[in-house]
Amino acid sequence: MSKRLRSILTPVIAVLLGILVGTIIMIVSGYDPIAAFTALWNGAFGDIYYIGEVVRQFTPYILAGLAVAFAFRVGLFNIGVEGQFLVGWLAAVWVGVAFDLPRVIHLPLAILAAIVAGALWAFIPGLLKARFRVHEVIVTIMMNYVALHLSNYIIRNVISHKGDNTGPIHKSATLRSEWLESLTDYSRLHWGIILAILSCFVMWFLLERTTRGFELRSVGFNQHAAHYAGMNVNKNIILSMLISGAFAGLAGAMEGLGTFEYAAVKGGFSGVGFDGIAVALLGGNTALGVFFSAILFGVLKVGALNMPLEAGVPNELVDIIIALIVFFVASSYIIRVFLDRISKKEVK
């Protein structure tokens, strides 16, 4: 079996296994799986409005997935996408409410603020990793909570006066468009999808077509070899975290300038950053793979909202399926062993 076929087959098998186990859980709990999956399908594709919502949902998923994937390719596990996403969200909204500028300046400025905020938030773990060899997983987890509490504090005490909400951003900073909304029966679809697709190209081009990308990937494959070849490992580690954080911050701008147009005090995480891990893993950490797996998760998440209404099945079932997919992708070693067995039998 060719390597390429196997690398496509493994995630597909993981998804199928996830759906299979989800189905079993439904049967055991006494729900009707066919009705549930029909409801999911209708909730994602049954109406042009739902399609708009699916696109709206997978826009930040693409960016969060790219953020995780980019760091992965350089051998870093950025669990802090959630935190970088939150500071990006806040920065974009802050610029959105604080200034009054023409749209051509205001909107790019707000987006840029989100990118810079996300990148800076990821710079800290990158620096600590490069300078002190501190494991990035723990630092990024801790930074997530710092981001959550800090942004709540800023929303409550700096932007608003003891309020739990920043108030809406000025119209000149929005990513929304009446045209896109009217096209999809007034869903919350916004221009962010263009930025997300562009980002896929940026990641692909940067990693596969530039010298810098070659260096980054080399560090990901083998730090010592990269070092021996004269590459600056520490610089590449910091750079990869900066770029990863920039993608995550941009994902925050999608929510802050597109979907919600405000930022509110949060009791817990939005989950986008953690879903990004699932997206990146399933997509094999490539730009194209991330794009497709983000679509899959967007469909699952939006379609799930229809499951309780139409089939009486709790929408958390989809969260279980996503978790199982992550689990099976992570355990791909065993899937590969299984595939190798099959292909060996064919040869005989």
Partner 1 sequence: MILVPSTLLWAAPLVFTALGGIFSERSGVVNIGLEGLMVIGAFTAIVFNLTTYDTFGSATPWIALLVAMAAGAFFSLFHAVASITFRADHTVSGVAINLLATGLTLFLVKLIYDKGETGIISKGFSKVDIPVLKDIPVIGKIFFQDTYWTSFLAILVAIIVWYVVFKTPFGLRLRSVGEHPMAADTMGINVTKMRYLGVLLSGALGGLGGGVYAQSITSNFSHSTISGQGFMALAAMIFGKWHPLGALGAAIFFGFAQSISIIGSSLPFLKEIPSVYLLIAPYVLTILALTGFIGRADAPKAVGTHYIKGSR
CB of 34 to partner 1, least distance (A): 18
Q: Which of 211, 224, 333, 348 binds partner 1 (CB under 8 A)?
A: 333
Q: Which of 139, 180, 279, 296 binds partner 1 (CB under 8 A)?
A: 139
CB of 113 to partner 1, least distance (A): 21
- 262 near 100, Cβ under 8 Å? no
- Token digits for 31? 């729900």
Q: How far apart are CA 320 and CA 326, in angstroms?
A: 10
Nearer to partner 1 (CB atom), residue 6 or residue 176: 6
CB of 59 to partner 1, least distance (A): 21
The DSSP secondary structure of 253-321, one letter per residue, reads HIIIIIISSS-B--SS--SHHHHHHHHHHHTTTSHHHHHHHHHHHHHHHHHHTTHHHHT---THHHHHH
- Examine residue 35 and tell whether it contacts partner 1 (CB under 8 A): no
Q: How far apart are CA 145 and CA 138, in angstroms?
A: 11
Query: For the window 72-101, what string marks contact with partner 1 as x by the rule CB under 8 A?
Result: -----x-x----------------------
- Examine residue 316 and tell whether it contacts partner 1 (CB under 8 A): yes
Look at residues 65, 59, 15, 115 and name the one whose alpha carbon lies nearest to residue 273. 65
CB of 328 to partner 1, least distance (A): 9
- Examine residue 17 and tell whether it contacts partner 1 (CB under 8 A): no
3-state secondary structure of 165: strand
Q: Contact positions toward partner 1, by CB under 8 A?
A: 25, 29, 77, 79, 128, 132, 134-135, 137-139, 141-146, 149-150, 152-153, 157, 267-268, 274, 277-278, 281, 314, 316-320, 322-324, 326-327, 329-334
